[in-house]
């Protein structure tokens, strides 16, 4: 799971995501090897409250059986903060684990086209790649590289994707 992509996709779709339940729903009745959640840790100097909230969220994930959190980093640039190392780590893990024959099907939760080459490499190793995605922000490159697709919609994943209540603003 590409944590940042999943978070922003959920925000655009106006849903709150229960990551462990979503992983369980995507796996279905297949044998789960492990779920990996990739994200960059928000530094205190970037956003003190955001860092605290993210740490609480990650602590809940750390206590979930068969779910590993893989951290990248945030780097400060002149234009703001940038996530680094997350896509590369996800891509290298996908290919490495496929080459070691640790799984048959990868369920890639992301819409990021940067992961298209990894998906193709995994397929070239004889594995299958399913792509779970939010419709907005999905890359055409990723579409061409995966075997099958699962659109993340609240009506299909009611236990995992809860619609947020928007506050009505009176004018």
Question: Where residue 65 sits, what CATH number does that domain have?
Answer: 3.40.50.1010
Domain count, the chain: 1
Q: How many CB atoms lie within 10 A of CB 66?
A: 13
170 in a domain, yes or no? no
Domain contains 9: yes
Residue 68 belongs to a domain? yes
Q: What is the pLDDT of residues 139-162, one digit of tens each?
A: 999 999 999 999 999 888 988 998
User: What pTM value is reported for the model?
Assistant: 0.91
CA distance 39 to 29: 27
| φ/ψ (deg, to 5) at 41 | -75, 130
Q: Is the pLDDT of residue 167 over 70?
A: no
Q: Give the Cα separation of 57 and 35 in Å (integer).
A: 16
Beta-carbon count within 10 A of 106 CB? 24
- Listed residue (125, 35, 37) closest to 89, CA to CA: 37
- The verdict on residue 129 lying in a domain is yes
The boundaries of the domain holding residue 118 are: 3-163
Residues 101-107: contacts with CB under 8 Å, at least 24 apart = 102/33, 103/33, 103/127, 104/128, 105/30, 105/129, 105/130, 106/130, 107/26, 107/27, 107/132, 107/150
Interatomic CA distance for residues 160 and 87, integer angstroms: 24
Under the banding of pLDDT at 50, 70 and 90, the label for residue 119 is very high
90 within domain boundaries: yes
Asked if residue 57 has pLDDT above 60, the reply is: yes
Res 171 pLDDT > 50:
no
Output the pLDDT for position 65: 94
Instruction: Answer whether residue 104 is part of any domain.
Output: yes
Average pLDDT over residues 105-120: 96
Rounded to an integer, what distance in angstroms lies between the CA atom of residue 74 and that of residue 86? Answer: 10
pLDDT digit string, tens, across residues 8-55: 999 998 999 999 999 999 999 999 899 999 999 999 999 999 999 999
The strand pair at 15-17 and 161-163 is best described as antiparallel
Crossing angle of helices 86-99 and 116-124, in 10° steps, is: 0
- pLDDT of 122 above 50: yes
List the beta bridge partners of residue 80: 77
Assess if residue 171 is contained within a domain.
Answer: no
**120 belongs to a structural domain:** yes
pLDDT of residue 47: 92
Is the pLDDT score of 70 beyond 90?
Answer: yes
Q: What is the pLDDT of residue 158?
A: 87
Phi, psi of 90 (to 5 degrees): -60, -45
pLDDT (0 to 100) of residue 165:
61
């Amino acid at each position: 799971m590409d944590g940042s992509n999943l978070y922003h996709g959920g925000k655009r779709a106006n849903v709150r995501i229960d990551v462990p339940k979503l992983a369980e729903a995507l796996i279905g009745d297949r044998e789960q090897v492990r779920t990996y959640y990739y994200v960059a840790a928000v530094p205190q100097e970037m956003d003190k409250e955001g860092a605290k909230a993210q740490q609480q969220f990650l602590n809940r994930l750390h206590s979930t059986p068969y779910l590993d959190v893989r951290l990248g980093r945030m780097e400060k640039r002149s234009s703001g903060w940038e996530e680094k190392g997350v896509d590369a780590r996800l891509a290298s893990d996908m290919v490495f684990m496929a080459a070691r024959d640790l799984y048959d099907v990868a369920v890639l939760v992301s819409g990021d086209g940067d992961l298209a080459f990894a998906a193709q490499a995994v397929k070239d190793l004889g594995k299958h790649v399913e792509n779970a995605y939010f419709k907005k922000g999905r890359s055409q490159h990723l579409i061409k590289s995966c075997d099958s697709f699962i659109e993340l919609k609240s009506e299909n994943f009611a236990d995992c994707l809860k619609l947020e209540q928007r506050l009505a603003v009176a004018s």
